[in-house]
C-alpha cells in the first residue's frame, strides 16, 4: 500500500532520488526532503510553485470539516483569498491570524481585530470567527500564551461533529499551528513556502485534523524571490517601525526591490514595516531615477531578478487619514500627512494594495 510521509503528506517512493517522496529506507516515516528540512533546514527540492491551488481547494471543498483559515498577519494582503466562501460549500470559516509576535506590541489585539473585520468586509469576505495567535514556534504552550487555548475553544464551538481542516496561503504557519495543537513536531515546517505537499490527516481522537498544502499566488515576492532573497524578506523578529518625517519630495528604496516616491507634501510621515534584514535608502525624489540606474543591485540590493527590470508604477492621490501602501509578500509603508501624490514602483508582476492603515 502507498505510504504517506508523516511530515509533508507526499507518497513515499524508494527508487528515484531526484523525485519528491524519495527515501532510501522502506520503514522510514519521513521522506528525505522532510528529513533534510527537519535536521539541516535545507530544502533539496523547492515546491514553491509546484502545487496546484485549484486541486487543493477542490480537495478541501470535499471534506466534511470546519475550516481554520490560517492568515499570516504580517503578509495579510497576499494571504487574502477572494471569494473563499465560494470554495467551501458552507463550511464554518474561522480565521486564525498567525505571527502576531512579529507585529509591534503597541498595536492592541482589539485594534487589530477591528482592522481585520473591516478589511474583510471591504474585500467581500465573511468569516464566522477570528482568533489571533502568535509565538507558536517556541512558546506555543508558555503560560503567557493563550493562542492554542483560544483555537481549541473555536474548534469546540464550531466543529459540530465534523473534522477540522487547516488551509491558507503557503508559509502562513498552518503546519506550525497543527504541531502546537498536537503538542508534537510531527509535521514538517520551514521558512520556505511549499513545505506541505499533500493533505496530511492527523487523528485527534474525536476528530481528524487535516493539514493542507499552502496556496500560492503569482504576484507575491514570496513566490518570485529565490531562496537567498527569501531569507531576507521574511522577518525573523518583531518589526521595528522605521519612521521618516519628510518636508519635501522624497523617495525611499527598499533595497533594489521597490521604490516609494512621495510628492507635493510639506509635512508627511512615512513609516516602513519590513524585515529588519532589508535596508531602506532615503533620498531626494529628483535624484531617485539616477540612484536606481547607477546603484541597482549593488547599493540597492537585494533584487528579485538578475537583470535590471522594468518597474511597474502604481499611483495613489493623497493618503486620507492614514494609508498603507502594501507590496505583496514584502511589507508596507504607512503614510499620513499632506502628501499629494504617491508613486510606488515594483518589479513587473508584483502586486500592490492600498488600504486603510492597519497600525
Ligand atoms: N514569528 C513567527 N513565525 C511563525 C509562527 N508560526 C509559524 N511561523 C514561521 O512561519 C514559517 C512557515 O511555517 P509553516 O508552518 O511551515 O507554514 P505552512 O503554512 O505550513 O507552509 P506550507 O506548508 O508551505 O504551506 C516557518 O518559518 C515558521 O517558523 C509564529 O507564530 N510566529
Ligand atoms: Mg505546511
**For the whole model, what pTM was predicted?**
0.96
Q: Which domain holds residue 167?
A: 46-217
How many CB atoms are closer than 10 A to CB 244?
Answer: 17
Q: How many domains does the chain have?
A: 2
Domain match, 135 and 280 both = no
Ligand nearest to the Cα of 177, by number: 1
Domain match, 348 and 306 both = yes
Domain match, 60 and 205 both = yes
Ligand nearest to the Cα of 37, by number: 1
The CA 174 to ligand 1 mean position distance, Å, reads 7
Inside any domain, residue 205: yes
Nearest atom within ligand 1 for CA of residue 70: 19
Inside any domain, residue 305: yes
Query: Which residues contact residue 59 at a Cβ distance below 8 angstroms, ignoring those fewer than 6 apart?
Result: 199, 212
Domain match, 83 and 202 both = yes
Ligand 1 lining (C-beta closer than 6 Å):
98-99, 101-102, 134-137, 170-176, 189-191, 193-196, 213-214
Express each pLDDT in 60-111 by its tens digit. Answer: 999 999 999 999 999 999 999 999 999 998 999 999 999 999 999 999 999 9
Inside any domain, residue 279: yes
The CA 130 to ligand 1 mean position distance, Å, reads 18
What DSSP character marks residue 15?
S
Express each pLDDT in 20-66 by its tens digit. Answer: 999 999 999 999 999 999 999 888 888 777 788 899 999 999 999 99
pLDDT at 305: 81
SS3 21: coil
Express each pLDDT in 156-178 by its tens digit. Answer: 999 999 999 999 999 999 999 99
Inside any domain, residue 248: yes
Mean pLDDT rounded to a whole number for the chain: 95
Domain match, 200 and 256 both = no
Three cell numbers written together for 195? 513545505
Inside any domain, residue 301: yes
Nearest atom within ligand 1 for CA of residue 176: 15
Distances (CA, A) of 181 to 37, 149, 178: 21, 9, 5
Inside any domain, residue 81: yes
Query: Which residues contact residue 156 at a Cβ distance below 8 angstroms, ignoring those fewer than 6 apart?
Result: none
Q: Please, which pLDDT band fits residue 308 given cuts at 50, 70 and 90? A: low
Which of 167, 183, 217 corresponds to the end of one domain?
A: 217
Amino acid at each position: 500500500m502507498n505510504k504517506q510521509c508523516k511530515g509533508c503528506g507526499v507518497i513515499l517512493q524508494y527508487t528515484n532520488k531526484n523525485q519528491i517522496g524519495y527515501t532510501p529506507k522502506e520503514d522510514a516515516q519521513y521522506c528525505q526532503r522532510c528529513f533534510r528540512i527537519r535536521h539541516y533546514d535545507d530544502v533539496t527540492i523547492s515546491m514553491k510553485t509546484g502545487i496546484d491551488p485549484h486541486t487543493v481547494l477542490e480537495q478541501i471543498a470535499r471534506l466534511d470539516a470546519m475550516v481554520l483559515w490560517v492568515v499570516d498577519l504580517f503578509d495579510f494582503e497576499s494571504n487574502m483569498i477572494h471569494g473563499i466562501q465560494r470554495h467551501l460549500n458552507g463550511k464554518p470559516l474561522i480565521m486564525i491570524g498567525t505571527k502576531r509576535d512579529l507585529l509591534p506590541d503597541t498595536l492592541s489585539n482589539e485594534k487589530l481585530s477591528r482592522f481585520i473585520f473591516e478589511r474583510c468586509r471591504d474585500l467581500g469576505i465573511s468569516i464566522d470567527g477570528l482568533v489571533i495567535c502568535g509565538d507558536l514556534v517556541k512558546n506555543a504552550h508558555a503560560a503567557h500564551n493563550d493562542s492554542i487555548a483560544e483555537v481549541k475553544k473555536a474548534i469546540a464551538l464550531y466543529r459540530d461533529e465534523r473534522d477540522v481542516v487547516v488551509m491558507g496561503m503557503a508559509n502562513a504557519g498552518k503546519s506550525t499551528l497543527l504541531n502546537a495543537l498536537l503538542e508534537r513536531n510531527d509535521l514538517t515546517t520551514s521558512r520556505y513556502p511549499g513545505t506541505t505537499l499533500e493533505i496530511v490527516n492527523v487523528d485527534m481522537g474525536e476528530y481528524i485534523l487535516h493539514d493542507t498544502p499552502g496556496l500560492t499566488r503569482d504576484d507575491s515576492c514570496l513566490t518570485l524571490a529565490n531562496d537567498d532573497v527569501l531569507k531576507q524578506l521574511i522577518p525573523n523578529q518583531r518589526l521595528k517601525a522605521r519612521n521618516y518625517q519628510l518636508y519635501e519630495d522624497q523617495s525611499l528604496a527598499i533595497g533594489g526591490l521597490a521604490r516609494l516616491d512621495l510628492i507635493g507634501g510639506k509635512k508627511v510621515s512615512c513609516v516602513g514595516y519590513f524585515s529588519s534584514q532589508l535596508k531602506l535608502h532615503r533620498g531626494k525624489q529628483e535624484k531617485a531615477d539616477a540612484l536606481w540606474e547607477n546603484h541597482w543591485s549593488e547599493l540597492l540590493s537585494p533584487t528579485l531578478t538578475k537583470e535590471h527590470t522594468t518597474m511597474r508604477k502604481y499611483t495613489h492621490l493623497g493618503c486620507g487619514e492614514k494609508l498603507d501602501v502594501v507590496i505583496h509578500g514584502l511589507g508596507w509603508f504607512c503614510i499620513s500627512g499632506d502628501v499629494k501624490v504617491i508613486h510606488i514602483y515594483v518589479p513587473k508582476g508584483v502586486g500592490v494594495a492600498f488600504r486603510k492603515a492597519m497600525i
